[in-house]
Structure 1
Amino acid sequence: MSDGPARRVRAPEDAQALRRAVLVDADELAALLADDDPPLVLDVRWALGRTDGRERHLAGHVPGAVYVDLDTELAGPASPADGRHPLPALADLEQAARRWGLREGQAVVAYDDAGGTSAARAWWLLRWAGVRDVRLLDGGLAAWTAGGHAVEAGDVLPEPGDVVLAVGGLPTVDADGAVALAADGVLLDARAVERYAGESEPVDPRAGHVPGAVSAPTTGNLGADGRFLAADALAERFAALGVPASGAVGVYCGSGVTAAHEVVALATLGVEAALYPGSWSQWSHDARRPVATGR
């Protein structure tokens, strides 16, 4: 990027307001749940290679939280052409959201036990589908219990909701759009640096990254406590990566899940980033697409 440091992202004057529109802490969530019109809470526990999210939910969750299966409810069918977690059809997502009990106009809070790296997928999809008030529980279940708040066991079966979804709330790019961003904007790769460099590739057919993409591992958005870094620290991180205060920014990862976490982090700073949903799982299956390696 040719922009000078003054034009790169920095913590805005209204940083706290921006942050509170995206994140909620445990104490605030507890107060909201005691209100007459509480938010719908979604438990999105998922991790690559693990299939025990529902079991962990049943063992203990935020009271009233509904379990959401990322693989089947927050993604369409996997394929080499579309990637491991393509966007679900809007009608399917709407049906799922109604099963969770989401009412028209109701607020939503999503959480997990991995710093928000899987819950961010629910945040992103619902915002993309027009739900305006969606937040992540900062620090997830660990922050909830550390704050002295109780958990409950067992399943949660809500009354069906009536939400109506419509796409267009957040921007996306396809593979060609990712190429354009790498050339004329900033394209962030949210995977671990070893995968970006092509030194390790546990699931996809080719190792490396989209040429021109910048390595920006999602884990760098979090502190040791699993909460998002303070606004100044996040701004410094993204400024060092060349992210402009305004301009074209996109994010991808392995399959479009943890990249949503990067979109969340940027949103707390007032930066709207486009998600490449197919991500590396789509790109690496297309032999026509070049692959870069190295750090």
Structure 2
Amino acid sequence: MFKQDILPPLDARSASDLSKQMEETWGLLETGRPYLLRAFPQYLLWLSEYKAQRSVGSHYLKYVMPYGGLACDSLLSRVRSALGVETRNIYGTSELGSVAVSCDNHRAMHIIESFFEVEIFRDGKVVQDGQIGEVVITDLTNTAMPLIRYKVGDVGRILQDACACGRNTKRLEILGRVQETLVRSGHWVTASEIGNIAYSDRGVSNFRLDQISTNHFELQIVPSFFGVSPDVDSIRSRMEDLLSVGGTEPTKITPRILPFVQPEPNGKYLTCRLRPSAWVQ
């Protein structure tokens, strides 16, 4: 018989307070001994590295599953390494329900093709598999309120190559939100690409890239809560190279070290915060 418990959210405005909150959260987890832990991606990162630093036992935990935000590959790799467990993912929306689910392959999720038709659009047209664009979904079973080519606000791509798990359904890779995606000289730079650079540095516990003007960005970095310093120059250089693709002018990124990054009103954290002129249309 399965039981579900909902734990309090984490407030990262103070490193010392966050440490106390994580200690309390792990105490609750030790009492409840869950098989599966679901949380915002940043919560999973903080909790997993807190556990690794303090050797908190979690042998009862088998899987962790992010939700409510982009979980890029480098972030999830750090979670798996710190906790010693596997990650799984489910993609869906409140309007549609679960649309795709992951397997042992961490890269993409298998589309539930009997329930949904998933397409990728760019410039008003369907793109070929493997190309990046806006995720558009048609619900094949909802006859009460049909949703046909419904724009869910996410960016991704469809992978149709054979999956190592043996399933032959199409797979969906989510790469971020539309409003977090930058178009640089016709090239789409996704939140996933930006996040993979930041979270590949173990000295980064959270970050956000704010656009100041067309070629000027501010990179807000929250250092690790556990004494690891980020290589700010390397992160800045790699992001500048990424954002300068096809550009005629160099991209400038100004880094700032902050004690915390303010979440959105719904509690979620954005990878990029852009001015309207930079949004994907």
* TM-score, normalised with respect to structure 2: 0.29
* Structure ranking higher on relative contact order (CA contacts 8 Å, 6+ apart): 1
Larger Rg: 2
